[in-house]
């Protein structure tokens, strides 16, 4: 009897203990599916030309007046099911007007009059369609099937915009490996009368062979992969005229393999504006093409830079203007806004920030102000600003520190502000532009409040060149400064990325604080020179010498760690993926003795195996910069290995192709150096889904095992 | 001063200590190049039609009379250099007559009259030639370039035997993936007037894509790989007539993908004998074809077996007979010799051994006896026997226990016997057949005598079915039976191989005793049912159920190990390559708790990914034997993993294709099982050369690290 009681007591005790909840790696990696990330609001949108916003609550769409804060009405899934009986849950809305909304339903786009609760129209497309882009004015959808481009219309016509058999020619998809801000290959004209599209001719681009091991027997999957210094793709811009059903092409000679980027339409649909960049990526011509003739009308302006030029944003026309547009450029060292005319006249430099503009959100109804996003003075944050189009004077709309994402209504008088910070999981506010008064409509609970986790803190270190470097340090729960902790340095370090942000968890993956507490580790991350949102000088110091400045800055972080009494400086490990894999292997091999252990995922090991667009921007070609390529080539340091190093690669990685790891392994074997390797069969550049748990455990177990 | 003396003393001490020589893994793996394998004699041969044998001593060929033991003469490299000034070392001789010998010299075969020291003839061939086969009677060499077959003649004519553009058709090379004893694709007729050759049509055989990562970018290397149950190659036999320069083909319908094996000529050059095996491999037809007409003359005999039929030896005609030949067959359960006529009459079963004949060496001059090799009563040995062709009575020529390799002179009265055993590194004797009297001409020193190594001992265990199983156990130097040692079980376990042989080191690789002593390990190996030289019942028990009996027997070995006081039964690791990789993964996963650690190299993990010829012999097709394939599929046991498992695969393995390891990794990831993996870039099925040191260290370090 006493024995039974004793066991019961223990059970209770353990239940009690488990309510302090240790966050496991499994749960941390699958956190999104486990409800461990802050909640948000689905279908949060402005209704066009109104002060009404909508969001979804369970299976109901709630309409609220931003002015009064009052609920106007709601629309339930049950009501929608009258029209669409097979609909299982409330759909994700694309556009919403005071009377209609559109959504995608398997193989169609549906437009519904939600006032009368009647289907207005269905636009069907092929079930294998990809790269879909719906346009409500055209009441049509552009999509691709294999390498050709099609349009589906309301009359259920399937228009073949291109009919090209040659599989080297690809239409309607993103080109240039999605560099230069390219995210898609179709561009509806403002009134929906035309569809501009990208086309690339990859005839001269070499194949990279990937192997599909799921077939019987294994089979070849060739991808087109232009490697630095080798022949590249040739781009074209096609124009499909929906009125007369013709496809024409702009007359642009790309035999020099130059880039066609940042495509935009003039509001009158007569011209297309294109930023053309030479293959060397140090010269931009912003050109205007007449779509009628296909001929270039004029070059609006040019930009050159001895390092690189990288336009990333399309031209945005001022409201009600057919001639004046805003253009974002880093030409003064930070991404700022310039006003130009279509004749090429620079009206003015609108902003003159010494911080980075990250986009144009919208305008007010009178066209006097533009709303933009940018870091503001703290590069770790993201804010929304209202800029006077005449004077350039600006107000910060988002007041709270953190990372904000804002939607402005089409009148430009109200905003929806979603934000988080290190201390705020997710807040959503509705506010008035005029006076900034706002109402909080969501204050997400801390989804980790029941878990025993340590703290993440920001710090700023001085780099060797005097630059401020932002870092973060995550400590375990029950941190004891009199103890000595081992460290995991998590690194990315490449361009266009920032790991230290004032957002929930400080921008870290949830496994990092989980790991810190589970294994009594310090997790440390520093954004070195070359990373994003610090301006051109900070970013471009890496030009032609990838690795050098980045390593220098990471070692500043190491020096700091070593200065801490609670850090065991003999137990520092490093881990990173992709560019972070390049950094991880470089840090390990070029600084023997600093790290005991390195785990590099999908690492670039030799920039000559990386692609033309990204690779040559930063490194020029192997022919032009042999010393830089040699210095950055990880293979050249393999014999320095002092400790344990694990390389991991997706077996069908189309981004950093497996050749990077395989040649490094080959060199290690040749040099009699023992390294470790793992491959994730059939995974591309990242290991996602359920298998990601396996990956993270593989990495962390290796670190635990060897960082001793 | 005293300090200096002290250091000197230490140095001396270490020198003294190092003379006890610890054998390193590096030296053990590269043992052949380091002089750690027993010496032998180069160019050891009988001179045709004589009692004279030759061997090379440094750069001199010594001629000795076997009867008197007296040196007759010698021929030095310096003399040869009079004719061949560029010759750097004494060449490897092909044939030697009382006046001439031939050797291969880069792109030619040279025939030299060594009595007059004059070049007789040079037969040139293309420098890219492969599969060369010289024939002294034809004074011609057959060779292949890519997929076609050529003959080079003394008049320096290059004859295209085949001129086939279709790269799916391959001529003059070994077919059927070198199963059925096939080692080559060309067969000179006895008088050199014809060249028979194999041709295979691989049009229906699927490609397996291998990736060459040494090109820029990586490139595809497709190999033809017929997987079990899939379409296979179609074989042909061509006949080239050197007199009238015509190529013809035997009229054999192989649309059923049956096999053409064991090709031999009748001495009169009129017929070719071919063992034809159905794709099911349970029926042999031994057929005679008229080369003039290409038509089949008769089927000499048939053999069937419910498990498999596997002829491996060509017909060998009796001396001076055009009609009677010897044939080796396992039909009575052991490989024995049968005499047949070309009319198909079985004259007699010549031998009736309950052990295994392994080949025909030659005949005596009167044609009364045949010399054969075979295991003799101890299957771990290899001996030479003289068998009376009339009575079948036999004498054992080689008396000493061990593994003998014998050359008989063409008169059949003297032998050269090279042998080794567990205790004998290498001895070579010259002896008389008549009375067995012999002279030792080489007694190789123990190349390891300066190393501190333990012992290897043989043992015989009773299998669960009562069968004797041979095993060997290697102990470390300074073995102490009162201590507990960890164990490495090294396994192969597949057909046609035997790891426990009474030969130098007991047939082990040198790294095994080196490892045992370096790490204080026991290394254990057992030849399970299914392995070679024990007769058909022992071998064929595995039919349709690969893995089952083999595992059972290996576990008998484990039981034995566990019964030993000096074995730490909680520390047993297993390692093997190829079929041994199948065994290693199967043992580890199908018997959780037995082994702590498994290292499997180039493992077969699913027999459906293995090739038609070998795979279907043992497993039938996946369609015919779904249960057997399922049971043997390693993937099905991955979730049992209890301990650590490392898979290793050559990245371009054309034998056990990488799909075996890759699909097993994929299953492990899916089942959330942590396994380890390494790949040797650009290595095929084995890792050879200098890189082998890296491989062996990788394996052993993993075992040391995890077998705890």
SS3 letters for B521-573?
CEEEEEECCCCCCCCHHHHHCCCCCCCHHHHHHHHHHHHHHHCCCCEEEEEEE
Give the span between the Cα atoms of B700 and B329, in whole angstroms: 41
* pLDDT tens by residue, B266-321: 999 999 999 999 999 999 999 999 999 999 999 999 999 999 999 999 999 999 99
- Among A217, A633, A653, the strongest candidate for a mutation testing the B interface, having the largest count of B CBs within 10 A, is A217
pLDDT for res A14: 34
Distance between CA atoms of B52 and A694, rounded to whole angstroms? 69
Question: What average pLDDT does this structure show over A330-347?
Answer: 98
Nearest chain B residue to A673 by CA distance is: B694
Which residues on A lie below 8 Å from B674 (Cβ)?
694, 697-698, 701
Residue B16 predicted with pLDDT over 70: no
Probe site for chain B from A209, A650, A676, A699 (most B CB atoms < 10 A): A209
More confident residue, A10 or A450: A450
Say if the ipTM goes beyond 0.90: yes
CB B408 within 8 A of CB B388: no
Q: What number does CATH give the domain A456-604+638-706?
A: 3.40.50.1820
Which residue, among B303, B258, B265, has the nearest Cα to B285 in the 3D structure? B303
Over residues B380-397, mean pLDDT? 98
C-alpha to C-alpha distance for A427 and A424, rounded to whole angstroms: 7
The answer to whether B44 and B407 have CB atoms below 8 angstroms apart is yes
Which chain B residues have a beta carbon less than 8 Å from that of A670? Answer: 691
Backbone φ and ψ of A24, nearest 5° = -85, 165
Exposed e or buried b for every residue in A274-290, given b needs 16+ CB within 10 A?
bbbbebebbbbbbbbbe
How far is the C-alpha of B600 from the C-alpha of B2, rounded, in Å?
54
Q: Which residues are paired to A285 by β-bridges?
A: A276, A302
Of A208, A219, A651, the CB nearest to B662: A651
Q: Percent of chain B beyond pLDDT 70? A: 97
The more confidently predicted of residues B17 and B315 is B315
Cα–Cα separations (whole angstroms), residue A635 to A603, A606, A673, B690 = 12, 8, 11, 19
pLDDT number for residue B10: 32
Q: Give me the mean pLDDT over the A30-39 stretch.
A: 94
User: What per-residue confidence (pLDDT) applies to B11?
Assistant: 30
Contact A662 B669 (CB under 8 A): no
CA gap B116, B105 in Å, rounded: 20
Distance CA A459, CA A560 (A): 10
End-to-end CA gap in chain A: 47
pLDDT at position B167, please? 95
Contacts of A697 in chain B (CB under 8 A): 674
Give the percent of chain A with pLDDT over 90. 96
| CB neighbours of residue A657 within 10 Å | 28
Look at residue A11 and tell me whether its pLDDT is greater than 80.
Answer: no
pTM for this one? Answer: 0.95
Q: According to the CATH classification, is domain A41-123 in 2.40.10?
A: yes
Spatial distance between the Cα atoms of B506 and B451, rounded to a whole number of angstroms = 17
Using a CB-CB cut-off of 8 Å, the residues of chain B touching A669 are 680-681, 691, 694
Per the DSSP assignment, residues forming a β-bridge with B296 are: B289
Q: Longest C-alpha distance within chain A, in Å?
A: 96
Cα B528 to Cα B495: distance, rounded to the nearest angstrom: 10
Give the pLDDT of residue A155. 87
Per-residue pLDDT averaged across B423-430, rounded?
Answer: 97
The residues spanned by each domain of chain B are 161-314, 456-706
Which of B210, B659, B660 to mutate to probe the A interface, most A CBs <10 Å?
B659
Enumerate chain B positions whose Cβ falls within 8 A of a Cβ in A: 206-209, 211, 213-214, 216-220, 222, 225, 227, 230, 608-609, 651, 657-659, 662-663, 665-666, 669-670, 672, 674, 676-682, 691, 693-694, 697-698, 701
Task: State whether the Cα torsion B625-B626-B632-B633 is positive or negative.
Answer: positive
CA B101 to centroid of chain Cα atoms: 27
| Of A176, A93, A183, A100, nearest in space to A137 by CA | A100
Tell me the pLDDT tens digit for each residue of B194-224: 999 999 999 999 999 999 999 999 999 999 9
Fold of the domain built from segment(s) B456-706: Rossmann fold (3.40.50)
pLDDT given at position A6: 34
Provide mean pLDDT across the span B532-560: 98
Angular region, B156: left φ>0, alpha ψ -120 to 50, beta rest: left
Q: Which CATH number fits domain B161-314: 3.30.70.260, 1.10.3720.10, 2.140.10.30, 1.10.287.130?
A: 2.140.10.30
Given a contact cutoff of 8 angstroms between Cβ atoms, the answer to whether B186 and B133 are in contact is: yes
pLDDT of residue A106: 87
Q: Of A679, A680, A701, which is closest to B674 when you measure between CB atoms?
A: A701
Instruction: Label residues A169-186 b or e (16+ Cβ within 10 Å = b).
Output: bbbbbbbbbebbebebbb
User: To 10 degrees, what angle do helices A691-706 and B659-670 make?
Assistant: 100
Residues of chain A above pLDDT 70, percent: 97
| Residue-level pLDDT at A8 | 32
Which ranges of B36-173 would DSSP assign to H, the alpha helix?
Answer: 77-83
Tell me the percentage of chain B whose pLDDT exceeds 90.
96
CA angle B358, B362, B363 (to 5 degrees): 130
Kindly report the number of other CB atoms within 10 A of residue A552's CB atom.
Answer: 15
Peptide bond into B51 cis (omega under 30): no
Give the chain B residue nearest A609 (alpha carbons).
Answer: B217
Q: What is the pLDDT of residues A352-375, one digit of tens each?
A: 999 999 999 999 999 999 999 999
pLDDT score at B17: 40
Q: For the residues A588-612, what does the mean pLDDT come to?
A: 98
Q: What is the pLDDT of residue B430?
A: 98
| Size of the A and B interface in Cβ pairs below 8 Å | 119
| pLDDT for the residue numbered A17 | 40
CA atoms within 13 A on the CB side of A63: 17
Burial state string for B90-109 with b = 16 or more CB within 10 A and e = fewer than 16? bbebeebeeebbbbbeeebb
Q: What integer pLDDT is reported at residue B156 of this predicted model?
A: 84
pLDDT of residue B13 exceeding 60, the answer is no
The residues pairing with A276 across neighbouring beta strands, listed in sequence order, are A260, A285
Answer whether B694 sits within 8 Å of A672, measured CB to CB. yes
Are the C-beta atoms of residues A193 and A224 closer than 8 Å to each other? no
Strands B485-490 and B567-577, bridge-based pairing = parallel
Cα(A63)–Cα(A85) distance, integer angstroms: 23
Could you tell me which chain B residue has the CA closest to the CA of A225? B217
Q: Which residues pair with B414 in a beta bridge?
A: B432
For residues A490 and A583, give the distance between their C-alpha atoms in angstroms, rounded to a whole number: 10
Beta bridge partners of A63: A54, A73
- Distance between CA atoms of residues B245 and B194, nearest Å: 10
Q: What is the structure's pLDDT at B20?
A: 76
Task: Please tell me which of the candidates B216, B609, B691 has its beta carbon nearest to residue A669.
Answer: B691
Q: Residue A315 to residues A320, A372, A419: CA-CA distances in angstroms?
A: 15, 14, 27
Which residues share a beta bridge with A311? Answer: none
Residue B3 has pLDDT above 60, yes or no: no
Whether residue A204 is predicted with pLDDT greater than 50 in this model: the reply is yes
Instruction: Give the pair of three-digit tokens for residue A617.
Output: 């921007």
Give catalytic status of residue B685 as yes or no. yes
Q: Is the pLDDT of residue B14 over 80?
A: no
Q: How many CA atoms lie within 13 A of A609 on its CB side?
A: 31
CA distance B319 to B215: 55
Which residues are within 8 A (CB) of A678 and not within 5 positions of it... i.e. 6 or more apart? A646, A647, A648, A649, A698, B665, B676, B677
Task: Count, in order, helices (H) and strands (E) of chain B.
Answer: 11, 43
pLDDT digits (tens, 9 = 90+) for B331-354: 999 999 999 999 999 999 999 999
Token pair 């050249």 in the structure block, residue: A636
User: Could you read off the pLDDT of A640-690 as tens digits, one per residue?
Assistant: 999 999 999 999 999 999 999 999 999 999 999 999 999 999 999 999 999
Q: Residue A211 in contact with residue A220, Cβ under 8 Å?
A: yes
Q: What is the pLDDT of residue B659?
A: 98
Nearest by CB to B693, which of A211, A658, A672? A672
pLDDT at A37 exceeding the cut of 90 = yes
With cut-offs at 50, 70 and 90, classify the pLDDT of residue A20.
confident
Instruction: Point out the catalytic residue in the list B232, B373, B578, B661.
Output: B578
pLDDT tens per residue across span B131-160: 999 999 999 999 999 999 999 998 888 999
Q: Which one-letter DSSP state was computed for residue B85?
A: T
**What is the rounded (10 degree) CA torsion for B83, B85, B89, B92?**
-40
Q: What is the mean pLDDT of residues B45-72?
A: 97
Can you state the percent helix, strand and coil of chain A, rounding each to 5? Answer: 20, 35, 45
If you compute the radius of gyration of chain A from its CA atoms, what whole number of angstroms results? 27
Catalytic residue, chosen from B527, B548, B553, B653, is: B653
């Amino acid at each position: 009897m006493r024995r039974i009681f004793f066991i019961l007591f223990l059970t209770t005790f353990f239940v009690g203990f488990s309510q302090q909840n240790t966050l496991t790696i499994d749960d941390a990696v699958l956190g999104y599916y486990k409800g461990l990330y802050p909640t948000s609001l689905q279908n949060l949108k402005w209704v066009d030309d109104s002060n009404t916003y909508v969001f979804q609550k369970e299976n109901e769409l709630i309409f609220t007046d931003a002015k009064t804060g009052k609920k106007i009405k709601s629309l339930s899934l049950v009501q929608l099911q009258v029209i669409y009986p097979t609909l299982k849950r409330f759909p994700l809305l694309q556009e919403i007007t005071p009377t209609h909304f559109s959504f995608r339903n398997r193989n169609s786009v549906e437009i519904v009059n939600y006032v009368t609760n009647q289907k207005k129209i269905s636009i069907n497309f092929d079930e294998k369609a990809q790269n879909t882009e719906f346009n409500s004015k055209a009441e049509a959808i552009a999509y691709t099937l294999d390498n050709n481009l099609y349009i589906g219309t309301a009359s259920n016509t399937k228009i073949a915009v291109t009919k090209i058999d040659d599989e080297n020619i690809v239409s309607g998809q993103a080109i240039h490996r999605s560099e230069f801000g390219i995210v898609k290959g179709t561009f509806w004209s403002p009134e929906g009368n035309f569809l501009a599209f990208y086309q690339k001719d990859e005839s001269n681009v070499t194949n990279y062979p990937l192997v599909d091991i799921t077939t019987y027997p294994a089979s070849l999957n060739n991808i087109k992969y232009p490697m630095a210094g080798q022949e590249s793709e040739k781009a074209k811009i096609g124009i499909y005229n929906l009125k007369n059903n013709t496809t024409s092409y702009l007359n642009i000679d790309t035999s020099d393999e130059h880039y066609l980027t940042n495509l935009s339409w003039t509001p009158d649909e007569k011209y297309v504006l294109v930023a053309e960049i030479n293959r060397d990526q140090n010269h931009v011509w912003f050109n205007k093409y007449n779509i009628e003739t296909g001929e270039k009308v004029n070059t609006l302006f040019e930009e050159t830079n001895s390092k690189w030029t990288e336009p990333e944003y399309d031209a945005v026309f001022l409201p009600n203007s057919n001639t004046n547009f805003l253009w974002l450029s880093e030409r003064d060292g930070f991404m700022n806004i310039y006003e130009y005319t279509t004749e090429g006249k620079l009206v003015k430099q609108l902003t003159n920030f010494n911080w980075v503009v990250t986009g144009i959100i919208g305008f007010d109804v009178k066209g006097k102000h533009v709303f933009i996003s940018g870091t503001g003075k703290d590069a770790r944050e993201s804010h929304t600003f209202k800029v006077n189009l005449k004077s350039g004077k600006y107000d910060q709309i988002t007041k709270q520190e953190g990372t904000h994402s804002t939607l402005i209504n089409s009148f430009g008088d109200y905003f929806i502000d979603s934000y988080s910070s290190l201390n705020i999981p997710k807040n959503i506010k509705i506010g008035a532009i005029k006076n900034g008064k706002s109402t909080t409509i969501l204050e997400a609970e801390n989804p980790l409040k029941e878990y025993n986790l340590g703290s993440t803190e920001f710090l700023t270190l001085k780099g060797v060149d005097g630059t401020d470097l932002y870092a973060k340090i995550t400590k375990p729960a029950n941190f004891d400064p009199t103890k000595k902790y081992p460290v995991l340095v998590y690194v990315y370090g490449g361009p266009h990325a920032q790991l230290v942000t004032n957002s929930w968890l400080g921008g870290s993956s949830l496994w990092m604080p989980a790991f810190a507490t589970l294994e009594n580790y310090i997790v440390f991350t520093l954004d070195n020179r070359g990373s994003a949102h610090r301006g051109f000088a900070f970013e471009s110091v890496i030009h032609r010498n990838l690795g050098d400045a980045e390593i220098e800055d990471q070692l500043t972080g190491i020096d700091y760690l070593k200065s801490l009494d609670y850090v065991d400086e003999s137990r520092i490990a490093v881990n990173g993926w992709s560019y972070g894999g390049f950094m991880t292997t470089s840090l390990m091999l070029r600084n023997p003795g600093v790290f005991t252990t390195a785990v590099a995922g999908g690492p670039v090991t030799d920039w000559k195996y990386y692609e033309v667009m990204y690779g040559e921007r930063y490194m020029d070609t192997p022919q032009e910069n042999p010393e830089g390529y040699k210095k950055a080539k990880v293979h050249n340091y393999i014999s320095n290995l002092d400790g344990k190093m694990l390389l991991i690669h997706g077996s069908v990685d189309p981004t950093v192709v497996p050749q990077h790891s395989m040649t490094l392994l080959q060199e290690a074997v040749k040099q009699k150096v023992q390294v470790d390797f793992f491959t994730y069969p059939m995974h591309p550049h990242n290991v996602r889904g359920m298998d990601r748990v396996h990956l993270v455990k593989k990495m962390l177990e290796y670190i635990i095992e060897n960082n001793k």
